Amino acid sequence: MVLHVIRVIFVLVVLGIAISSALTTEVRGDPKAGEEIMVTRMAMVMIIPVILAVGLILVDMGFHHKSLTSISGLFFGVVAGVFFAYILGMIVDLAASVFVVNYEDVGLVIMTKLLVGACAIYLCVSFVMQTKDDFRFIIPYVEFSRQSKGSHPLILDTSAIIDGRIADIAETRILEGVLVVPRFVVEETQNIADSSDKLRRSRGRRGLDMLNKLQSNDKIEVQLHDARIPAVEEASEVDHKLVALAEHMDGKIVTNDYNLNKVAQLRGVDVININDLANALKPVVLPGEAITVKIIKPGEESGQGIGYLDDGTMVVVEQGRNHIGEDIAVVVTSTLQTSAGRMIFGKAGNNA
C-alpha cells in the first residue's frame, strides 16, 4: 500500500517538474516562434517525462515478490537516493558544460537534473523496500525486523499448531528461540477452519485457538512472519515453503507431520518432531516390571486385551480379554517403538 502511494507521489513530482519546466521554456522561448510550435513543445516537455515515469513504474512492478514497507526502509532509501541524486546532478552539470553550447534553454538542463534526482530517489526507495528482508549487513540498514531470542527461530507448521501441545511445551519455559508462524501457515489454518467438513472445520478452529493462546503467553515470543521471500514464494506446496523459510532464517521446523519431517531432513533442515519429543519423555518400562492397566477392549489375537497408560501408550495384554473393564496387574514382556508411538506387551497377573 505504501509503495503505491510512493509511486503516485513520484508521478506527481515528475508532472510538477515537467509543468514547471514547460512554463520556463515558454517564457524563455523564441518570441518569433509560431504559437503552434510553442504549444507542441510545451506539451512534449510535459508529456514525455510523465510517460517515462509511468514506464519506469511499470518496469519496477514487473519484478514480483514485493514486501511491505517500513519507516526505516523509507528513510534509508530517501537518504541514499538524495546522495545519488546529488552525484548524478554533478555529472549532468559537467556534461552540460562540455556538450551544451547554447545556454538559452537552461530550463531543460534543470529539468533533466530534477528528473534524474527523482528517479534516483524512487529507485533507491523501491530497492530498499524489496530487499530489506535479505540484507542484514549494511549500516544503518542492519535489521528491520525484531531480533529473535536464542540461536535459531522455531518455525511452526499447521499440524503442530492444530495439535496444540506446543502451547503446553511453551508453558515449561524450555523454548529459548522465538516461535515463528508464517503467513501461509495462518492462511492454511484459516482455510481448514472454513472447510465444509465438520471434522476439518473443528481442527482448523482449534488451530486458531492455539494461535491466540500462544500469542497471549508472555513466556514465549511469537512472531507472525509476513515477509515475502522469493525462495519461499516460488515454492508451490506449504511443506516446501516451510523448508525454504527455515533455510532462509537458519531455523528449525516444529511439526508432527512425518512426511514434512523426511523432506526437511533431505534438505538438511533441523526438525523438532512433537511426537518424537513426547515419546522421549514417556517413562521407561523394562521387561519384567509390573504395571497396572485397565483393560478397555479386546485385542486382535485370541485372548488379548487392550489397555492404555495415562500418557496414551497402548498396552497389549495376553490373557486380558476376560478382564475387560477391570484394573489388572500386567508383567511387561517387551516394548516396541514405532514412528507412531510406543507399544507395550505384557501378561496378565492378579487383579489390582
HEC string of the chain equals: CHHHHHHHHHHHHHHHHHHHHHHHHHHHCCCCCCHHHHHHHHHHHHHHHHHHHHHHHHHHHCCCCCCCCCHHHHHHHHHHHHHHHHHHHHHHHHHHHHHCCCCCCHHHHHHHHHHHHHHHHHHHHHHHHHHCCCCCCECCECCCCCCCCCCCCEEECHHHHHHCHHHHHHHCCCCCCCEEEEHHHHHHHHHHHCCCCHHHHHHHHHHHHHHHHHHCCCCCCEEEECCCCHHHHHCCCHHHHHHHHHHHHCCEEEECCHHHHHHHHHCCCCEEEHHHHHHHHCCCCCCCCEEEEEEEEECCCCCCEEEECCCCCEEEEECCHHHCCCEEEEEEEEEEEECCEEEEEEEEEEEC
195 exposed, middle or buried (CB, 10 Å; 0-12, 13-18, 19+)?
Answer: middle
Cell 501441545 found at: 165
Please name the amino acid found at residue 41. Answer: R
CA distance 54 to 62: 12
Residues 6+ apart with CB under 8 A from 17: 49, 111, 114, 115, 118
How far is residue 171's CA from residue 212's CA, in Å, rounded to a whole number? 14
Beta carbons of 317 and 295 less than 8 angstroms apart? yes
Q: In whole angstroms, how far apart are CA 289 and each of 271, 278, 320, 345?
A: 34, 22, 17, 11
pTM of the model: 0.49
CA distance 264 to 246: 9
315 forms beta bridges with 307, 344
Nearest to 141 by CA among 205, 74, 193: 74
Report the pLDDT value the prediction gives residue 228, as an integer from 0 to 100.
76
Q: Within the chain, which residue ranges are assigned CATH 2.40.50.140?
A: 284-351
Of the candidates 164, 341, 157, the one whose C-alpha atom is nearest the C-alpha of residue 241 is: 157
Q: Which CATH superfamily is domain 284-351 in?
A: Nucleic acid-binding proteins (2.40.50.140)
Of 280, 270, 264, 160, which Cα lies nearest the Cα of 222?
160
Each residue's pLDDT expressed in tens, for the chain with a length of 352 residues: 677 788 888 888 888 887 777 676 544 445 555 566 666 666 777 788 888 888 887 877 765 444 444 566 667 778 888 888 888 888 877 777 776 555 555 667 777 888 888 888 888 878 877 665 554 444 444 444 444 444 688 999 999 999 888 888 888 888 777 899 999 999 999 999 998 888 889 999 999 999 998 888 888 888 888 877 877 888 888 888 999 999 888 889 999 888 888 888 888 888 988 888 877 777 788 888 999 999 999 998 888 999 998 877 889 999 888 889 999 999 999 988 766 667 899 998 765 5
pLDDT at residue 112, as a whole number: 81
| Positions of CATH 3.40.50.1010 in the chain | 154-279
CA dist., res. 325 & res. 188, Å (int): 42
The superfamily CATH assigns to domain 154-279 is: 5'-nuclease (3.40.50.1010)
For residue 155, the model assigns a pLDDT of: 92
